[in-house]
Structure 1
Amino acid sequence: MRKLALAAAGLSLTVGTLGLAVAPDAAAATPCPSGAFCIRETNGTILSKNIFYSYGAHNLSNVTGLRVLVNSQTGGAGFTVCYGYNGVNCSGVSRATGEYEPYDMTPINSVVLVR
């Protein structure tokens, strides 16, 4: 019985370790620079092509699956995600700063930064 308990404890530790390796914690995620809107990769990094500073429409390339959107814009600036290129067929404007829940970016083709 003692061997079984030790084996179960070892399995639990192994599973916990694997979970940490697969999903980065908040401290491991790349921060979005102040004044920018960012799209975080699934591994927690932010590619330079997915850091946006200027207002207006920004077309996306190869941004699919669940991604964390991060609004670090200042002065109450917001963003909207759009199904079409060049800021066409968009959702409502989000102005809260910080990280948003993972969002399925597969059907999204552009983002628009607004004042």
Structure 2
Amino acid sequence: MRRTAMALTALSLALGTGIATAPGAVAATPCPTGAVCIREFGGDILSKNIFYSYGAHNLDNVTGYHILVNSQTGRAGFQFCRGYDGTDCSITYRDTGPYPAIDFTPINSLLLVP
């Protein structure tokens, strides 16, 4: 009983001081349903980095680490491509949701596939 009271006291102190929460954390901008998006580390998605249509999408000035979010439906996928116009591409990724941050510096286009 005493341990439970001490744990609850410690938890309430932590919550009261903001230790257990992330003050100032920014909520990530959601990627629209049916799209593939490149998210900045601050959580924003620039309008130029939202892709809806199948086919190749050349990237403009996207370098460094970013998070890709697949919000396509119907098991549609995407590929990372080193070349422009969807050439020299990776395997097809079909899982939805955010992917771990990757270095986009060598990536010049994305290829969206059904």
- Amino acid across the alignment from 1:33: P
In the alignment, structure 1 residue 109 sits paired with structure 2 residue 108: yes
1:63-102 alignment, distance < 5 Å:
63-102=62-101
Structure 1, residues 23-53: CA drift from partner, whole Å, max 9, x if none? x45xx00000000000001211001100000
- Amino acid across the alignment from 2:98: E
Tell me what 1:58 maps to.
Answer: 57
What TM-score comes out, normalization by structure 2 length?
0.78
In the alignment, structure 1 residue 43 sits paired with structure 2 residue 42: yes
- Amino acid across the alignment from 1:70: V
Pick the structure with greater CA Rg. 2
Tell me which stretches of 4 or more aligned residues in structure 1 moved more than 3 Å: none
Distance 2:54 2:112 in 1: 5
Deviation, 1:70, is 0.2
Question: SS of 2:78's equivalent?
Answer: strand
> Gaps (5+ residues) in structure 1?
1-12
Structure 2 CA distance for partners of 1:106 and 1:35, relative to 1, 3 Å: same
Distance 1:97 1:104 in 2: 19
* Cα-Cα RMSD: 1.6
What TM-score comes out, normalization by structure 1 length?
0.77
Distance 1:32 1:20 in 2: 23
- Amino acid across the alignment from 2:110: V
> Gaps (5+ residues) in structure 2?
1-16
Distance 2:23 2:52 in 1: 32
